[in-house]
Amino acid sequence: MLNFIEGGVCAAQGFRAAGLHAGVKTHAAWKKDVALIVSDVDCAAAGVFTKNVVKAAPIHVDRAHLQSGIARAIIANSGNANACAPQGEENAERMCAAAAAAIGCPAEDVLVSSTGVIGQTLNVGVIEAAVPELYAALERSAEGSDAAAHAIMTTDTVKKEVAVETTVGGRTVRMGGIAKGSGMIHPNMGTMLCFLTTDCAISPEMIRTALLETVGVSFNRISVDGDTSTNDSCMVLANGLAGNAPITAKGPDYEAFLEAMQALCIALAKKMASDGEGAKHLITCIVSGGTDVQQAEMVAKSVISSTLTKAAVFGADANWGRVLCAMGYSGAQFDPEKVDVRFASAAGEVQVCAKGRGLDFDEDLAKRVLTEHDVEIRIALGQGDAACTCWGCDITYDYIKINGDYRT
């Protein structure tokens, strides 16, 4: 039985977290900017990172540290991406070393992430100075996860924090996550920072397999603005304290674990899409009737990534032609003469297109439907049984305002 619970990254046994203001964000002394997540024992660990050729220094460090499949902690900062910056990898390693010294573990067992402005030297000294206080502030409670979730925020307006509970091998297993992501969000791994913790016993090989399967149906199916960041990272720690028989191969226990991880990450992904920079609407595109999932996914991704479709939703304009246009350049092969399109929300549902042709529809109802915060674009391809859901947001004047002076 899968249930959503409180606690974030501290929901699982043996995990503590903290966040505080160290001074990376010099313009906002009241904002937390460094987070630490620690397990009481060593964890099976895995990570998935950006496909952008330009990668931030922490990603190179994490890839090296994850070679063993073991980790103990994650340290992260906001306010500076440590990407394309002088002494980037050296400073990332210094963050790991500072955390490791406080925890009492090898520096190679610490993972690191950064987010913020690209190309500026990270003031790693303020982070090193803050680590003792950060470690002392670790809490095995929702407050610790809350502080860590706030410490990794940049232009996010709300924290992203979720936890779930399920049964694996007859034992109660918990999993929690925090994430940040508001801009530079596009389906190409999982354009954001996301840290997951679980007390499930699972091998490094199988947790990596589960993470890859999960990212494909969650973070790779969201888009805010079409930009894939240099720092995108999703990392998971599993300490095994739930006491289940270790998962070492696919089977019922693995499927139960995977179900929980996917539910957790889909919830986090939707929070990121909903909190897109300047956004007023969460757009959910549901494509059904596909010949296979790949076809349905290509169509759905193209629609939620379309700037013109985003603008139409912002204006509550049922301009369904933009939906078909985005479908047409998606790269997916389909028969336009079989396509139906509907807009839906809590205000109702209106069909705007049947068999690739426009319908007379109630414009007032369509306006009410598209005025709701959560809007669905329902597309029926009429070619098979495959389906896919992707998530995005509208584009507003505020997006330009936020990004017009992001650095200054």
Query: What gap in Å lies between CA 288 and CA 277, rounded to an integer?
Result: 29
For residue range 264-312, what is the model confidence (pLDDT) as tens digits?
999 999 998 888 777 899 999 999 999 999 999 999 999 999 999 999 9
**Under 8 Å between Cβ of 377 and 323:** yes
Give 158 or 331, the one with higher predicted confidence. Answer: 331
pLDDT tens for each residue of 212-271: 999 999 998 988 765 566 778 899 999 999 999 999 999 999 999 999 999 999 999 999
List 191, 197, 209, 309, catalytic entry: 191
Q: Residue 181: its pLDDT value, please?
A: 79
Instruction: Kindly report the pTM of this predicted structure.
Output: 0.92
- Which 8-state DSSP code applies to residue 173? E
Q: What's domain 282-404's superfamily in CATH?
A: ArgJ beta chain, C-terminal domain (3.10.20.340)
The class level of CATH for 3-274 reads alpha beta
For the chain, which residues make up each domain, given as ranges?
3-274, 282-404
Which pLDDT belongs to residue 223?
82
User: Would you tell me how many other CB atoms lie within 10 Å of the CB of residue 107?
Assistant: 18
* Four-CA torsion 140, 141, 142, 145, nearest 10 degrees: -10
Give the pLDDT confidence of 120-147 residue by residue, as tens digits: 999 999 999 999 999 999 999 999 999 9
Is residue 191 annotated as a catalytic residue, yes or no?
Answer: yes
Percent of the chain beyond pLDDT 90?
Answer: 83
Given this chain, do its domains 3-274 and 282-404 carry the same CATH topology? Answer: no
Q: Is the confidence at residue 188, as pLDDT, over 60?
A: no
Give the Cα separation of 76 and 53 in Å (integer). Answer: 22
- 348-386 pLDDT, tens per residue? 999 999 999 999 999 999 999 999 999 999 999 999 999
Extended beta strands in 59-170, E state: 70-78, 110-115, 160-168
